[in-house]
Amino acid sequence: MTAFAQESENIKFLGNKFTKPQNFSEFINLLDFEIEAGPGMYINTESKTVSAPSPIIYPVTMGFLWPNNTFLAVQPNMSFFMMNHLWYNNKALPAEIENRTSTTLSFMFTLPAVISIYMGKTRLQLMPGISILTRFAFLANNINADDSGFSGSAASDIANINGWFWNNARFFYLSSGVSFLYNIYNDIKIGPVINLHIPLVPLVTGRSEE
């Protein structure tokens, strides 16, 4: 992925001491906007005979960093991506396009703490945090509500899929990330970003489900 951010000048190796902004203009000057785009992988641990291999997704992320010149900061952001799902054996599973029941809109809201190291025109950032994944499934194209489904019909499968997304804290994730940004021109930085989101349920229960 790539990220774009405003350039902050005259920053020490471990960042500058935080100074409370005195007005709105100073607040804005401490704000960096970010855009990330690139491929990702949704790791599927369920049987591939009934669900898709780990699908490649293409999230687009927008957010901001504040403050932009200190060792510690926050960087709230939102990612959007789409997936296909099917309902099988009381689980919503990733599906290949020919076997899908739903098209699922996915929004990942992440609140990371940011640890930054400044090296001239480059910036290394470590980003531990928490995420909330909100998902909304609806009938995929060319799928009718009364088509057959694992629970009886495609419509009931969709209802089960949406319910499963919100049960047992499946929407709660732990996140981590690292980025290395380089100032390329004026107020624009660009560089690689790697993010990892781990669902909480397997960590707590020990089960392999998402």
Model confidence pLDDT, tens digit, residues 126-176? 999 999 999 999 999 999 999 999 999 999 999 999 999 999 899 999 999
What pTM did the predictor assign?
0.87
User: What pLDDT, on the 0 to 100 scale, is given for residue 12?
Assistant: 87
Q: What is the maximal distance between C-alpha atoms in the chain?
A: 64
Distances (CA, A) of 20 to 24, 25, 31, 74, 174: 11, 12, 13, 15, 30
User: What pLDDT, on the 0 to 100 scale, is given for residue 210?
Assistant: 54
Around Cβ 202, how many Cβ atoms within 10 Å?
14
User: Count of residues for the chain?
Assistant: 210
- How many alpha carbons fall within 13 Å on the CB side of residue 188? 5
User: What pLDDT, on the 0 to 100 scale, is given for residue 208?
Assistant: 54
User: What pLDDT, on the 0 to 100 scale, is given for residue 104?
Assistant: 98
User: What pLDDT, on the 0 to 100 scale, is given for residue 209?
Assistant: 56
Question: H/E element holding 166?
Answer: helix 154-166
Around Cβ 134, how many Cβ atoms within 10 Å?
13
What is the mean predicted confidence (pLDDT) over 118-132?
Answer: 94
**Residues 136 and 108: beta-carbon distance below 8 Å:** no
CA distance 184 to 18: 26
What is the mean predicted confidence (pLDDT) over 15-19?
Answer: 89
pLDDT band for position 49 (cuts 50, 70, 90): confident
pLDDT digits (tens, 9 = 90+) for 99-110: 999 999 999 999
The mean pLDDT of the chain is 90
Please state which of the ranges 10-14, 63-67, 162-166, 180-184 shows the lowest mean pLDDT.
10-14
What is the mean predicted confidence (pLDDT) over 19-40?
Answer: 92
Distances (CA, A) of 200 to 26, 43, 78, 106: 38, 14, 19, 17
pLDDT band for position 2 (cuts 50, 70, 90): very low
pLDDT band for position 5 (cuts 50, 70, 90): very low
- Checking if the pLDDT of 23 tops 90, the result is yes
pLDDT band for position 8 (cuts 50, 70, 90): very low
